[in-house]
Amino acid sequence: MKDLNNIRSKKAFIIDMDGVIYHGNRLLKGAAEFVEWLNANNKAYLFLTNSSERSPIELAQKLARLGIEVEPEHFYTSALATASFLASQHPGGSVYVIGEPGLIQALYDAGFTMNNVNPNYVVVGEGRGYSLEALELAVKLVLGGARLIGTNPDLSGPAEGGIVPACGALVAPIELAAKTRAYFVGKPNPLMMRHGLRRLNAKREETAIVGDRMDTDIVAGVEAEIETVLVLSGVTVPADLPTFPYKPGHVLEGVFEIPEDSAHELS
Q: Which of 16, 154, 212, 217 is catalytic?
A: 16
Q: What ranges in the chain are assigned the alpha helix state H?
A: 5-8, 31-40, 56-65, 78-89, 101-109, 132-143, 167-178, 190-200, 219-224
Nearest residue to 186 (alpha-carbon basis) of 213, 205, 225: 213
- Which residues does residue 230 pair with via DSSP β-bridges, in sequence order? 211, 251
Catalytic, 16? Answer yes
Q: Which of 18, 154, 212, 217 is catalytic?
A: 18
Write the CA distances from 255 to 19, 47, 65, 75, 263, integer angstroms. 10, 13, 19, 18, 12
Write the CA distances from 90 to 65, 82, 86, 97, 105, integer angstroms. 38, 12, 6, 16, 17
Do 122 and 138 form a contact (C-beta atoms < 8 A)?
Answer: yes
- Which residues does residue 147 pair with via DSSP β-bridges, in sequence order? 121
- 147-150, strands of its sheet edge to edge: 113-114, 94-98, 121-124, 147-150, 183-184
Catalytic, 109? Answer no
d(CA 267, CA 265): 7
Q: Which residues are catalytic?
A: 16, 18
